[in-house]
Amino acid sequence: MNGRNGHNGYTGHYLQTDPRWAGTEWYSARLSAALWRLTRSIQRREREPTPKRAAAIRRALAAFNREVRRVAARPVRSRTTSNGAFHEAGCHIVSQALVLRALGVTLRGREPTPLNLLHALQDMGLVTLSGYSEAPGIDHLLLATDGQVYLTEYADYGRKGLPVKKAKLLRKLKPGRAAIVCVWAHEYLNTSVDWTHYVCVPGLAKDGVIMQDPSAPRANRLERSYKRVFGVWVYTRREERRRK
Q: Is residue 3 part of a domain?
A: no
Task: Give residue 85's pLDDT.
Answer: 86
Burial of 190 (0-12, 13-18, 19+ CB in 10 A): middle
Q: How far apart are CA 230 and CA 18, in angstroms?
A: 27
Q: Is residue 121 part of a domain?
A: yes
Confidence of residue 31 (pLDDT cuts 50, 70, 90): confident
**117 and 148 part of one domain:** yes
**65 and 157 part of one domain:** no
Q: How far apart are CA 122 and CA 23, in angstroms?
A: 17
Residue type, 157: Y
Confidence of residue 137 (pLDDT cuts 50, 70, 90): confident
Q: Is residue 80 part of a domain?
A: no
Q: Tell me the mean pLDDT in the region 129-153.
A: 86
**221 and 196 part of one domain:** yes
pTM of the complete model: 0.83
**140 and 216 part of one domain:** yes
Task: Give residue 102's pLDDT.
Answer: 93
Confidence of residue 209 (pLDDT cuts 50, 70, 90): confident
Q: Which domain range does residue 58 map to? A: 29-73
Q: How far apart are CA 10 and CA 116, in angstroms?
A: 17
Question: How many separate domains does the chain show?
Answer: 2
Q: Is residue 15 part of a domain?
A: no
**108 and 211 part of one domain:** yes
Q: With beta carbons less than 8 A apart as the criterion, state whether 205 and 140 touch.
A: no
- Which is higher by pLDDT, 11 or 39? 39
Residue 170: pLDDT above 70?
A: yes
**165 and 62 part of one domain:** no
Report the chain's mean pLDDT, rounded to a whole number.
84
Task: Give residue 205's pLDDT.
Answer: 76
Per-residue pLDDT of 218-239, as tens digits, reads 888 898 899 999 999 999 998 7
Q: With beta carbons less than 8 A apart as the criterion, state whether 167 and 137 touch.
A: no
Q: Is residue 188 part of a domain?
A: yes
Q: Tell me the mean pLDDT in the region 22-32.
A: 85
Q: What is the CATH number of the domain that holds 107?
A: 3.90.70.10
Q: With beta carbons less than 8 A apart as the criterion, state whether 88 and 215 touch.
A: no
